Structure 1
Amino acid sequence: MRFLHTADWHLGRIFYGVHLTDDQAYVLDELVRLVKDTEPDVVLIAGDVYDRAVPPIEAVKLLDDVLTRLVMECGVQVILVAGNHDSPERLGFAGRLLVTRGLHIVGKPRNDAQPLVIYDQWGPVYFCPIPYAEPPVIQERFGMQEVGNHEQAMKAVVSQMVSRLPRGARSVAVAHAFVAGAEASESERPLAVGTAGTVSRECFLTFNYTALGHLHRPQSAGGDSIRYSGSLLKYSFAEASHRKSVSLVELDGEGNVTLEEIPLSPRRDVRCLEGYLADLLKGPHGGGSCHDYLMITLNDEGAILDAMGRLREVYPNLLHVDRPHLVPRAENIRPSTDHRKMTVLDLFSSFFEQVTSRPLAQEESKAFARVVEDWGRKERETE
């Protein structure tokens, strides 16, 4: 059984005010060509296909086009699960009708869900779709009021799926989750405040392979058998060093996995440059294109008239200029920590301490976490 694992397309993403739909269409054309070349039996899309619950029309049209080409032109089956950015109801519209054409979309976890069975030369392989599962959803749909965090929610869904697998069957999970110990990036939306949103790798040890979505860096979360394919494109400058790819996986008759990372080539790369204005105005260096999406750190001290405008004459897709050496001498004007790298809880705790002159208490921190999680859930349901 050969399958292609991808995730975190985030169609409709806006990056520093730039709509990335054309860039996403470019790399998805490459994905379709890759499917035609490698001829997988299945394409797995492990969540966050959209960037927000109500995506722009252009993003919906792009997804419709890509899925149509994969299913109709390439003749490959597609299994797609909802992520925390997706609206499960909207994404899962007409899902039961689409199954007949080989497109399997799973929005919300169900207590009556069955594995999808696809055959190869050695027999059946059981694919277990596990969309993003919030604890309150599992409490309601599974009647399990004792579920209080993401770990318990994931174990409940996995246990239900595993109970429907024949003994010794080859199985593949397609899940959207944050596995503890894996490396996060700036561009991911936290599943919960603090560490309550993580799940352990032990949740997935039953499966021969687990195709994960949510984290944007391609990485292992437990050997080659539990893996994040990473996002379709770089969605923050912190990801400038990442090499985006999809995972081509082969499962033999004994359930052993072999994996190949196939890199993706974007229309424009996301890069960070550093130097003095006069040197940078001479043109790109280091092998990159002047048309990439850039963040430039200037080492010049003192004022510069219209640095952004002057640099954009050479680098038209420059998105941000950082001036770390242009720092006021007065104390306490700049925060000691870059706010872009702080969590929601860190930001609120810092604000709270500045206003009240005392640190946030543990109970207050828990109350804030509950409010943020409730707000996020309502946003996905009503946005």
Structure 2
Amino acid sequence: MEQVIRIGMDTSKSVFQLHGVDALERPVLIRKLQRRAVVPFFARLAPVKVGLEACGGSHHWARTLSALGHDPVLMAAQHVKAYLRRGKHDAADAEANCEAMSRPRTRFVAVKSVEQQAGQMLFGVREQMVRRRTQLSNAIRGHAAEFGLVAAKGLAYVEPLLARVAADDGVPALAQELFNMLGEEYRATCTRLAALEKKLVAHYRQDATARRLAAMPGVGPIGATLLGIKVGDATAFRSGRDFAAWLGLTPKNHSTAGKTRLGVITRAGDEMLRQVLVVGATAHIQQVRRGRIPASPWLAALLARKPPKLAAVALANKNARIAWKMMVTGEPYRCDQAGSLAPASPPSRPS
């Protein structure tokens, strides 16, 4: 077999398709492997660059291939699709991976460690618990309203509503039993969510980068911890603007004939991270408008001419850029008079 310089690999649960080329870009390796045969095959193969789509299980395989001496790269599926020819099948997907990874403008996804993936799992499970708690509280409210029992908005009123239902003789025994089931599940979900919050706080306290990022207005411990987990190596981005664009916080460009037209934000990239940054910025602006905290001159000028929701997205964009600089340089957060990250002072020379 000719010397393989690059391999595109299409992964699945049980079948893996390989497409390798030599230095002349000729296909010299087209092979299908069962899952159990992947590691032995690459263990015998000379070190080579391997391209995979960033999908389920891809980070595990990237770590495995790296441990075997290879150079794995991960690519977003939408970037690989442009190189997919003819119909979609395993062989075509592997060929598209091999082609996409060779292009100089292809952007790769940083391989996450097992610790980073555990942190992502923590946030994902927490988000599921929050959604489940909301579903249960809405179900309790909706069913109680059918029996003439209503409560004010807010989670603080769910338990009093359940107590009123239990004390109401007009609610049939079957409905009482069902309300008890919903109440037990609601309390169990709240207990699990509180335990997850403690784990999140513990993770935040152990992460020096997250503690520095939390000093930014509108970020807080949750946003700071999520930034540290999701981003990984911030040096993969050339600038803060590129980082904000990766998060989908920059406007769409519809420019033509020399006329610049900017639209809504792209909303590309990681939805959870973007949502946390925007929600945090919204909460910060609410505190400013209520007079509880002072606003930076930049934010005050922005709120004077733009609606609060647009200002929240702008603040999230600004925070993302500052966060990138802090992660790259290791600087602490320092706010100057314009509300921007102050430049680092040069170190003093020893006398």
- Give TM class, smaller chain: under 0.3
Instruction: Return the structure number with greater strand share.
Output: 1
Larger helix share, 1 or 2: 2
TM-score, structure 1 as length reference: 0.20
Per the normalisation by structure 2, the TM-score is 0.21
